[in-house]
Structure 1
Amino acid sequence: MKQDFTDFHTELKALDEQSINPSGNAALEQVVDHGRRDLLKGSLALAAVGFLSGGPVTYARADTSPLLGFSGVPLQTAQDFDRVDIAPGYQARPFFSWGDAVLADAPPWQPDASDDWQAQLKQSGDNHDGMHYFPFPDAPNEHGLLVINHEYINPTLHTNGLNFVDGKRPLEEVRKEQAAHGLSVIEIRKDAQGQWQRVLPSPYNRRLSALTPIRISGPLAGHELMKTASDASGCEVLGTLNNCSSGITPWGTYLMCEENWHYYFLNRDNVDYAQRVSHQRYGISNKASSLLYAWETADPRFDVTPVADQPYAGHAQEPHRFGWVVEVDPFDPASQPVKRTAFGRFCRECAVLSMGQDGRMAYYSGDDTKGEYVYKFVPSGRFDAANPLASRDLLDAGTLYVARFDADGSGQWLALVHGQNSLTAENGFPSQAHVLLNARAAADMAGATPMDRPEWVAVHPETREVYISLTNNDDRGDKQPVNAANLRPGNLHGHIVRWNEKDGDPTATEFQWEIFLLAGEHPGARNASGQPVPANLIGTIDGDIFSSPDGLAFDGAGRLWIETDAEQAPELMQSMGCNQLLCADPKTREVRRFLVGPRGCEITGITWTPDYTSMWINIQHPKLSYPASDGKTRPRSTTVLITKNDGGVIGN
């Protein structure tokens, strides 16, 4: 039985910390010579950052940023902290929690978690993550659809945690876990008093899960690589998994991104596993059980061990059908979601749009694993604002690129195209389908720069400057060489990198980059024992400290909002307190803490109304009893509504 919250999340964090990249890509290793290593042993001041990145890094300190119009809140280090603290003049209230009704016939959520899987299919899923608010045109700031990812599940989903009977998971439990993944679409509107309420019943409300049929489109639709014993067509897959961050399209659809889908599969054939890049390079388990839930003991399609006498070797290719971008039309509940295979397959954190005035588009994604890469997908066609419906299939053709960050502050987008950058049959890529299916291995071959867990991307609404959070990497400098874009060994606190595409063109193949900030302690900090904090834990933050940047998003005024996902147990991390929502001024680089979440949670997901007077964020996997905060009630991942007391713009 897996029941204890702390043990489960310790195990999950350990899985997240695994490095899978065997490539040894170190094109920048030669720039980090012994002299620069000596510098890292001393101080990581900004002069060092500028020197090591090979380019100028301007860093103007400011007493007060004109963008940050709120007073910060303090850190919260108490182990029993079980609420949300927010800046003065604001309020934050729980709005939509795991188990809340999505469909009109959903039964009430049971605090003892005795709801069955059929009930869970009608209720909010678990572990809220990426989300977006889609306004109705007639009242955009008072009426809309809130679309919310459900990344994975906690043991609290069941009355007594995750159980095994004779070494197997009960099918009813597995079905409930599958039902708690996916997506919720809920209609929301302001009432006569101006308060946001969920609308129920609603013709728009919808739940997607790991049991929802989803169409496969693009270059791999119907391909031999996508066929299994249960789907000889290779055109439809059952479900979506581990939906983390997200994106949107200019034609009004939502993009779910499948992140750590490899946790769910098991291949017991070690010989096959060693030869099958599509399993091994993504870290699918070849041990006694899959990495997290052991679904394979109850649902055969998650046992991907090849079976010689079955079509397509049984379910061996089922993992090929995960790791994609899933497009959903929130305004058409009868529409079938679509997996867009032109985006490539990896553990994708997000799909963030940057669009030029001429309709050319780029979608940025991080591959959230230590030592993995930053990607960009450029659709072949252009968005036509005069005829948005004609754009519906633009995501089925285009070019996938991976980033190389050079030591002089320049960068290159390397095309992952069959026949280019050594992606040939001789090197294991006989077709473009193989390139897209094994995008990680293709990026290895092309010479991409391994990064410190690339996560969310944010694009400045005016300048199109691009920011990416690099959450952490304690293998950096040990298993993975330090490089100019990832310059700290034992990088427990992470950092943020930003770049400008050449000529401001989102489809360009060249860019200029710099390190925006290193997260961590202020210079001169000491630990609880009075000893100086090690140099690799010292950051360059001007303002409120934080660790492990994860979620990033810009509001309409150009404020950069930063959400954190720091491990709170180790002694080295105690001073960072509970996870936070912060705000940064891109020009002055000042950072101010806006909100602190309850103990054990991750702060994730962020969206606003078009006038930026209402904000939603997610409190994922709180540890104690939030949102009840009575120390007894089962904790629930929760979407939180944030408003300003005077009804004004948030952040002003």
Structure 2
Amino acid sequence: MQKNDEFASKGAAFEASEDVPTNTNLANTFGKIAERRYGRRDVMRGALGLAATTALSGTLGTLGGIKTAEAADGRYVWTEIEHGVDETHHVAPGHTADILIRWGDPIFADSPEFDPMKQTAAAQARQFGYNNDFLGYVGLPFGSDNPDNGLLCVNHEYTSEEVMFPGIGRQDNKGFPDMTAELVDIEMAAHGGSVIEVKREGEKWSVVKDSQYNRRITANTTYMELTGPAAGHDRLKTSVDQNGTTCIGTFNNCAGGITPWGTYLMAEENFHGYFGGAVDGHPEERNYKRYGVPGGWYAWSKYHKRFDINAEPNEANRFGWVVEVDAMDPTSTPKKRTAMGRFKHEGAEPIVNGDGRVVVYMGDDQRFDYVYKFVSERRYNPDDRAANMDILDDGTLFVARFNEDGKLDWLPLIYGSGPLTAENGFHSQADVVIEARIAADLLGATPMDRPEDIDPNPQTNKVYVMLTNNSKRKADAVDAANPRGPNDFGQIVEMVPPNGDHDALQYTWDLLVVAGDPSKPEVGAKYHQATSENGWFGSPDNCTVDAAGRLWISTDQGSGWSKTGNADGLYGLETEGEMRGYSKMFFRTPIGAELCGPRFTPDVKSLFLAVQHPATDGTKDFPGFERNSTFEDPATRWPDFTEGMPPRPSVVVVRKDDGGEIGT
């Protein structure tokens, strides 16, 4: 791994850490499986369509940039925007993208106005947090599917001090010399999440600041309950919480989910980066090394000893979970659902199975880590919201093994089953969920190319897995579902449960698209042949399925956007019929930003998008700027474009100019 001081931004350092695998279980990776299924020669020459089944057959081709006038757009009929990179955002013609809320904006009637030169932790706790990732929408009143008034649930993943605070630059690359206790507390208050009521009047959306529902969840002030099989276990106890059932805060919340009973699932991803100390000889050494603890990205352990793994040996075990928040009750205590496993959760997207049980799909976002699902023991009751509130405490966690014959096996992580015994260090189900990665290693799960968001389509029951990239995969370590090594651009895997049964132990799977530039045979990309020179993408990250059943993909290339020459954005991607694999660009972010959390209102007439860390990633490659951004000298001052105002992560809301459905 490169040294921290070689990275231009905090985000670039994060990306590099995800590029360093901690998994040693690499004997049968997804890349090897893909090679055996499709044939390496076919993969690398872009001829996967000759060997695959439905996902890469027939209409798929490698003819990027050769879209013909006769080619139909299917369900994606807007005028496509062009690839490129500049200081602002762009949306398809016939649509308008407005800024809904920005970092620092007040979310309560008595919140102070944002002043970047006079930031305080107290003010930040009453203002919209920093890097906004996952977005969820719950109509008001609950159960109404109201498309014009609802609650927007927002994750605040991390902070970028180099463009957040004046005069200090990046800190983790030089030992945090300028970080004070107050600056650390501001960072902690900027993490977590926000629940805000939003309302549309005419064509404009706004935040209802005097709403009874509005709430900030932070890393340093919000108390949370630990529930499920690990709650109360000795490995979760600390000097402050001797019962092992209560912790303070959540952080690095990436994607997430909204349950049918109106709760908000916050997925804790790169929790390891917030801890300091020495791991060698530590009582949790095996566990912490598998998760990369301590990461040392922030100065939190300098001022808060619970983040020093030597001062509080178990504190890091209290993070890496899925957190459930009652969006309808701002006084409720969020709950960390340990039954769903501890790893670097990218998301947690639920679907109600045909038998009423709830299935949640989750990815572990690191090179060579795994795809999971959780199946609840109890059934969802649509007529009794209260009966569903703890449904995620009991159930079975599974990890995926992809086979070269197109079958997928779900392997249960159950104490006492197979290798999950005392002989391998597991003495209870608590140990299994705390060390879910090691349990999955022992079961022989398939190492993947950074599993990120995983979304089921309720109309078809197909499930889509975003695999962002894996530059560490070697050419001789490819498999059927990870067909390239090194893999700079990622791919999308489609999982199909038999007869729509998400509780089944065996699915089928296929590759939907292989990302990258299809005009370059050496890349091995694969799309529908009608995809234009602007329609292909790199590094799929988040996704969503709208009410019409259309799949939408947002990208996260990090500082590697220069490999495509295109900023991150949003794409429509056809999954069915003759146009399957057809991709089309709809939205583009400003320089250095990542697009996250696409979320439609139920009528598909409004689209919320999260644009995070503008001006940070890869700015040395931005023509005309070609240097690292700072607070005083950023590559863009999006979205305010006001001198003295730093770039601000923001939520954008898109409307069609004629008031119709987005993308039609």
Q: Output the TM-score relative to the length of structure 2.
A: 0.89
* Aligned match of 2:167: 160
SS of the counterpart of 2:195? strand
* Aligned match of 1:84: 89
Q: Aligned pair in 2 of structure 1 residues 166, 431: CA closer, same or farther (>3 Å)?
A: closer
| CA-CA distance at 1:304 after TM superposition | 0.5
Q: Aligned pair in 2 of structure 1 residues 358, 198: CA closer, same or farther (>3 Å)?
A: same
Distance 1:235 1:513 in 2: 39
Matches within 5 A, 1:536-547: 536=523, 538-540=525-527, 542=529, 543=531, 544-547=535-538
- Say which of 469, 475, 478 aligns to 2:466: 469
Question: One-letter code of the match for 1:75?
Answer: H
* Aligned match of 1:121: 125
- Say which of 311, 324, 347 aligns to 2:321: 324
Distance 2:442 2:6 in 1: 42
Matches within 5 A, 1:340-359: 340-359=337-356
Distance 1:34 1:133 in 2: 39
Matches within 5 A, 1:109-258: 109-112=114-117, 114-137=118-141, 140-155=146-161, 156-161=163-168, 167=177, 169-191=179-201, 193-211=202-220, 212-258=222-268
Q: Aligned pair in 2 of structure 1 residues 546, 445: CA closer, same or farther (>3 Å)?
A: same
| CA-CA distance at 1:353 after TM superposition | 1.1
SS of the counterpart of 1:390? helix
Distance 2:419 2:109 in 1: 54
Distance 2:299 2:430 in 1: 30
- Contact residue 46 and residue 59 of structure 1 kept, 8 A: no
- Contact residue 25 and residue 447 of structure 1 kept, 8 A: no
User: Cα deviations across residues 343-380 of structure 1 (Å, max 9, x unaligned)?
Assistant: 00000011111212331221000000000000000010
Q: Aligned pair in 2 of structure 1 residues 393, 537: CA closer, same or farther (>3 Å)?
A: same
SS of the counterpart of 1:272? coil
Distance 1:27 1:198 in 2: 46
- Say which of 263, 282, 288 aligns to 1:272: 282
Question: One-letter code of the match for 1:45?
Answer: A
Question: One-letter code of the match for 2:570?
Answer: L
Distance 1:255 1:56 in 2: 30
User: Cα deviations across residues 161-191 of structure 1 (Å, max 9, x unaligned)?
Assistant: 3568995841111111000000111111123
Distance 1:500 1:30 in 2: 18
SS of the counterpart of 1:281? helix
* Aligned match of 2:572: 583
* Aligned match of 1:72: 80
SS of the counterpart of 2:351? strand
Distance 2:543 2:17 in 1: 23
- Contact residue 279 and residue 309 of structure 2 kept, 8 A: no
- Say which of 432, 436, 440 aligns to 1:439: 436
Question: One-letter code of the match for 1:603?
Answer: L
Decide which moves more: 232-241 or 141-150: 141-150
| CA-CA distance at 1:272 after TM superposition | 2.0
Q: Aligned pair in 2 of structure 1 residues 272, 109: CA closer, same or farther (>3 Å)?
A: same
Q: Output the TM-score relative to the length of structure 1.
A: 0.90
Q: Aligned pair in 2 of structure 1 residues 19, 4: CA closer, same or farther (>3 Å)?
A: closer
1:496 aligns with 2:492: yes
- Contact residue 596 and residue 612 of structure 2 kept, 8 A: yes
- Say which of 584, 607, 617 aligns to 1:592: 584
Distance 1:107 1:548 in 2: 38
Distance 1:651 1:552 in 2: 16
Q: Aligned pair in 2 of structure 1 residues 373, 630: CA closer, same or farther (>3 Å)?
A: same
Decide which moves more: 25-34 or 458-467: 25-34
| CA-CA distance at 1:419 after TM superposition | 1.6
- Contact residue 372 and residue 450 of structure 1 kept, 8 A: yes
Q: Aligned pair in 2 of structure 1 residues 172, 56: CA closer, same or farther (>3 Å)?
A: closer
| CA-CA distance at 1:141 after TM superposition | 1.9
- Say which of 594, 603, 613 aligns to 1:621: 613
* Aligned match of 2:656: 644
| Uncovered stretches (5+) of structure 1, i.e. residues with no partner | 306-313, 526-532
Question: One-letter code of the match for 2:166?
Answer: T
- Contact residue 461 and residue 556 of structure 1 kept, 8 A: no
| CA-CA distance at 1:44 after TM superposition | 2.0
Decide which moves more: 129-138 or 428-437: 129-138
Distance 1:84 1:167 in 2: 35
Distance 1:505 1:403 in 2: 16
Matches within 5 A, 1:429-578: 429-477=426-474, 481-523=477-519, 525=520, 535-536=522-523, 538-540=525-527, 542=529, 543=531, 544-569=535-560, 573=563, 575-578=564-567
SS of the counterpart of 1:629? coil
Q: Which has the higher contact order (CA 8 A, sep 6+)?
A: 2
| CA-CA distance at 1:58 after TM superposition | 3.0
- Contact residue 168 and residue 298 of structure 1 kept, 8 A: no
- Contact residue 343 and residue 436 of structure 1 kept, 8 A: yes
Q: Aligned pair in 2 of structure 1 residues 97, 46: CA closer, same or farther (>3 Å)?
A: same
RMSD: 2.4
SS of the counterpart of 1:119? helix
Q: Aligned pair in 2 of structure 1 residues 30, 99: CA closer, same or farther (>3 Å)?
A: closer
* Aligned match of 1:610: 602
SS of the counterpart of 1:381? strand
- Contact residue 132 and residue 154 of structure 2 kept, 8 A: yes
User: Cα deviations across residues 472-524 of structure 1 (Å, max 9, x unaligned)?
Assistant: 0011126x82111101011000000001112210111110000000000123x
* Aligned match of 1:393: 390
- Contact residue 367 and residue 449 of structure 2 kept, 8 A: yes
- Contact residue 38 and residue 48 of structure 2 kept, 8 A: no
- Contact residue 227 and residue 234 of structure 1 kept, 8 A: yes
Question: One-letter code of the match for 1:118?
Answer: A
Distance 1:5 1:190 in 2: 41
Distance 2:449 2:176 in 1: 40
| CA-CA distance at 1:84 after TM superposition | 1.2
Q: Aligned pair in 2 of structure 1 residues 570, 49: CA closer, same or farther (>3 Å)?
A: farther
Question: One-letter code of the match for 1:210?
Answer: A
- Contact residue 520 and residue 540 of structure 1 kept, 8 A: no
| CA-CA distance at 1:291 after TM superposition | 2.8
| CA-CA distance at 1:5 after TM superposition | 9.5
Question: One-letter code of the match for 1:584?
Answer: L
SS of the counterpart of 1:563? strand
Distance 1:518 1:547 in 2: 9
| CA-CA distance at 1:644 after TM superposition | 0.3
Distance 1:99 1:4 in 2: 30
Distance 1:136 1:456 in 2: 26
- Say which of 284, 299, 306 aligns to 2:293: 284
Q: Aligned pair in 2 of structure 1 residues 48, 147: CA closer, same or farther (>3 Å)?
A: same
Distance 2:230 2:158 in 1: 26
Q: Aligned pair in 2 of structure 1 residues 55, 412: CA closer, same or farther (>3 Å)?
A: farther
| CA-CA distance at 1:35 after TM superposition | 11
| CA-CA distance at 1:440 after TM superposition | 0.3
| CA-CA distance at 1:631 after TM superposition | 7.0
Tell me the percent identity: 37
